[in-house]
Amino acid sequence: MGGTTERRVGVYVCHCGGNISDYVDVERVVAAIRDEPGVVVAKNTIFACADASQSEMIEDIQRHKLDGLVVASCSPKLHTTTFRGVAARAGINPYTYTQVNIREQDSWAHTDDPAGATHKAISLIKGGIARTRLTEPLEPLVVETTRKALVVGGGIAGLRAAIGLADVGLDVFLVEKERELGGWVGRFGTMYPHERDGRELIDGLVAEVRGRDSITVFTNAELMARSGSFGNYVAAIRINNDLPELVHVEVGQIVLATGFDTYQPESGEFGYGIDGVVTLPEFKAMVDASSGPLTYHGRPVRTIAYIYCVGNRQPGGNEYCSKYCCAATVHASIEVAKLPGSVHQYHLYRDIRTYGKYELMYTESRKRGSVYMKFPEDMPPAVALDASGRLMVTTHDTLTGGEEVTIPADLVVLVTGMVPRRNEELMGLLKLPVGTDGFFNEIHPKLRPVETVVDGVLIAGACQGPKNSAESVASGLAAVTQSAAILKKGTAELDPLVATVRAVACSMCGDCLTACPYSAIEKAEVAGREVAAISPSTCKGCGGCVPVCPEDAIDLRGYTDAQIRAVIDSMLEEPVA
């Protein structure tokens, strides 16, 4: 193994569990790259990001005196920082590390072509090795950040985030589209798990927000534009549609907590549209408003049939589990049982997901008389009116051998879940990606759960996916921590991947001076000759000056002419399928 070059590179090819190795022959990849010039160590690893794998890399770097590191795993958006950290802890320069994306841009895109995916992985890694062999040690650039944050959305997640950000000493702008703060929770009565009233919770949070001078609240307001860059954004906010002027605020981070909508059944879907068939939010409002026996349109409600998973876990529709609705329904049924009068409650479900401590509510609801019947996935309940105009719900109870059961009901509750809020304008102006479920995507669900691919834009609450209020608050506070970690320092580190001029080749034609809108390039005298000089702290690292130089005298660090050509050449050494 190993070439004759002066660089000593370690290469680690990740299985990512089976995310990569189910489609890419990782052992074959390692065998194909182990004799590449400069490669001293070549290994595969089940999870490159695991602590044990990182320790092994550090050990290898130190034992084999490596001076370059390549990890072929997921998108660089996820783990560039992780493995630069590994390099730094091992004592080598972090910028001698290259991450090769063989998951999002290989195994996941070619699940139909394992042979092609394997060739492509080899090709991409050869390119990564070539790039690494031409890296140079660099130090990060430091930029000052604006110690202010913008929170978009005044529901429970946004309110808690705004308070948290203010409490760590940041100025906060809170933008809410509606006239009032509070979102969904502000309309709820008693909520699980601690029987707190949603309206009271929100009133308390709003009072805390109003009591902090460092929080500026804009209601009836919308984010209309964003400019600037990481750490120093300018947000344009329209306050009240009648006012044409926009308010501009400078912020270092943006926290999106724009919430969710609820699934609205089609007319006729499980009888929706028939008098007495309601959705979960409609039912919750009824229960919250009741102090005496439960009634519907003045009629006493003595039997309720709940139909779970309406609008969720549907092939071709919302395929995800909305996860909060089981617990919310079970809790509502307990609230009904506490009301005066006797109500028979039948829960018709595919699966009950009252996870964690909410399992106790499930037990309590059964103790209070709720009956649970599991219907087969392919035989959902049917809702119809009988000849007398009474609601009848027919289901098959798999727990009693699939027996058909017909329940006369006064009320049918369709347990509807969360759906993504339509946010096209916001998506457009922030360019935030959404997943197949339509909710905003985090960078990594475990490791970077509130960060997005847009630096400095964080997500919290149910705009990211179905969450109950406790989980929404937790993610709001995670966004606070993430924001504070950057903004409290007052500075952020940026990659030192800036443009440089080879003075000896520069003819000072001046083309690069006009190409840079940041005035990062100026004339300077070197060895008695006038040449272009680039300020590392002013240069944004776009590389826009590189192609305009007729002498090929400008290079962008990390993306030099030699590196890009070497990557291309090395990729082509491996044939495609």
Partner 1 sequence: MSAVAVADVHEKQAGSVPRILVFSTNNISDPGIDLAGSRHLHYSSGVEVISLPCTSGVKPSWIAHAIEQGFDGVFIASDGDECAYLPDCAHRASALVGEAQAMLKERGHDPQRVRMAAICSVCAEPFTNHVQQFARLLAGLREQGAK
Q: In the bound complex, what is the minimum distance in angstroms from residue 342's beta carbon to partner 1? A: 50
How many chain residues interact with partner 1 (CB under 8 A)? 57
- Interface residue with partner 1, options 3, 116, 281, 490 (CB under 8 A): 116
Site string for partner 1, 491-510 (x = CB under 8 A): ------x-------------
Q: In the bound complex, what is the minimum distance in angstroms from residue 427's beta carbon to partner 1? A: 7
Q: In the bound complex, what is the minimum distance in angstroms from residue 35's beta carbon to partner 1? A: 21
Q: Are 494 and 142 in contact (CB under 8 A)?
A: yes
Q: Does 565 bind partner 1 (CB under 8 A)?
A: yes
φ, ψ of residue 127 to 5 degrees: the values are: -60, -40
How far is it, in rounded angstroms, from Cα 73 to Cα 79? Answer: 9
Q: In the bound complex, what is the minimum distance in angstroms from residue 561's beta carbon to partner 1? A: 7
Q: Does 119 bind partner 1 (CB under 8 A)?
A: yes
- Interface residue with partner 1, options 52, 124, 136, 199 (CB under 8 A): 124
Q: Does 512 bind partner 1 (CB under 8 A)?
A: no
Q: Which stretch binds partner 1 (CB under 8 A): 260-268, 363-371, 521-529, 568-576?
A: 568-576
Indicate if the alpha-carbon torsion angle 332, 334, 338, 342 is positive or negative.
Answer: positive
DSSP structure string for 54-122: HHHHHHHHHHTT--EEEEEES-HHHHHHHHHHHHHHHTS-GGGEEEEE-IIIIITT-TT-HHHHHHHHH
- Interface residue with partner 1, options 5, 62, 111, 214 (CB under 8 A): 111
Q: In the bound complex, what is the minimum distance in angstroms from residue 559's beta carbon to partner 1? A: 6
Q: Collapsing DSSP states into helix, strand and coil, what is residue 253? A: strand
Q: Collapsing DSSP states into helix, strand and coil, what is residue 130? A: helix
Q: In the bound complex, what is the minimum distance in angstroms from residue 201's beta carbon to partner 1? A: 34
Q: Does 138 bind partner 1 (CB under 8 A)?
A: no
- Looking at the chain, the number of H-run helices and the number of E-run strands are 13, 32
Q: Does 393 bind partner 1 (CB under 8 A)?
A: no
Q: Does 564 bind partner 1 (CB under 8 A)?
A: yes
Site string for partner 1, 398-437 (x = CB under 8 A): -----------------------------x---xxxxxx-
Q: Which stretch binds partner 1 (CB under 8 A): 35-43, 114-122, 236-244, 368-376?
A: 114-122
Task: Give whole-number Cα distances, 349 to 312, 413, 438, 447, in Å.
Answer: 12, 12, 25, 33
Q: Does 316 bind partner 1 (CB under 8 A)?
A: no
Q: In the bound complex, what is the minimum distance in angstroms from residue 231's beta carbon to partner 1? A: 12
Which residue lies nearer to partner 1 by CB, 522 or 552? 552
How far is it, in rounded angstroms, from Cα 181 to Cα 393? Answer: 39
Which residue lies nearer to partner 1 by CB, 337 or 548? 548
Q: Does 104 bind partner 1 (CB under 8 A)?
A: yes
What lies within 8 Å, CB to CB, of 125 at 6+ separation is 11, 13, 29, 33, 70, 72, 100, 102
Q: Does 109 bind partner 1 (CB under 8 A)?
A: yes
Q: Does 176 bind partner 1 (CB under 8 A)?
A: no
Q: Which stretch binds partner 1 (CB under 8 A): 121-129, 245-253, 349-357, 401-409?
A: 121-129
Which residue lies nearer to partner 1 by CB, 369 or 547? 547
Which residue lies nearer to partner 1 by CB, 436 or 519? 436
DSSP state of 186: G
Q: Are 56 and 46 in contact (CB under 8 A)?
A: no
Q: In the bound complex, what is the minimum distance in angstroms from residue 542's beta carbon to partner 1? A: 4
Task: Give whole-number Cα distances, 96 to 128, 132, 376, in Å.
Answer: 11, 6, 56
Q: Does 540 bind partner 1 (CB under 8 A)?
A: yes
Residue ranges in 453-472 that form contacts with partner 1 under rule CB under 8 A: 453-455
Q: Does 447 bind partner 1 (CB under 8 A)?
A: no
Alpha helices in 301-358 (DSSP H): 325-338
- Interface residue with partner 1, options 120, 177, 396, 421 (CB under 8 A): 120
Look at residues 470, 485, 344, 462 and name the one whose alpha carbon lies nearest to residue 408.
344
Amino acid in the structure at residue 388: S
- Interface residue with partner 1, options 96, 98, 101, 135 (CB under 8 A): 101
Task: Give whole-number Cα distances, 351 to 186, 283, 308, in Å.
Answer: 29, 21, 8
Amino acid in the structure at residue 546: V
Q: In the bound complex, what is the minimum distance in angstroms from residue 36's beta carbon to partner 1? A: 17
Q: Does 441 bind partner 1 (CB under 8 A)?
A: yes
Q: Are 330 and 283 in contact (CB under 8 A)?
A: no
Q: Which stretch binds partner 1 (CB under 8 A): 145-153, 469-477, 500-508, 565-573?
A: 565-573
- Starting at the earlier edge strand, list the strands of the sheet with 303-310: 277-279, 411-416, 303-310, 344-349, 371-374
Q: Are 6 and 36 in contact (CB under 8 A)?
A: no
Other residues' Cβ atoms within 10 Å of the Cβ of residue 570: 22
- Interface residue with partner 1, options 83, 97, 108, 358 (CB under 8 A): 108
Q: In the bound complex, what is the minimum distance in angstroms from residue 74's beta carbon to partner 1? A: 9
Angle 134-138-143 from CA coordinates, rounded to 5°: 140
Q: How far is CA 340 from the centre of its chain?
A: 44
Q: Does 568 bind partner 1 (CB under 8 A)?
A: yes
Q: Does 274 bind partner 1 (CB under 8 A)?
A: no
Q: Does 569 bind partner 1 (CB under 8 A)?
A: yes
What lies within 8 Å, CB to CB, of 315 at 6+ separation is none
Angle 284-289-291 from CA coordinates, rounded to 5°: 120
Query: In the complex, which residues of this chain contact partner 1 (CB under 8 A)?
Result: 75-77, 101, 103-113, 116-117, 119-120, 123-124, 127, 229, 427, 431-436, 441, 453-455, 497, 517, 540-544, 546-547, 552, 556, 559, 561, 564-565, 567-569, 571-572, 575-577
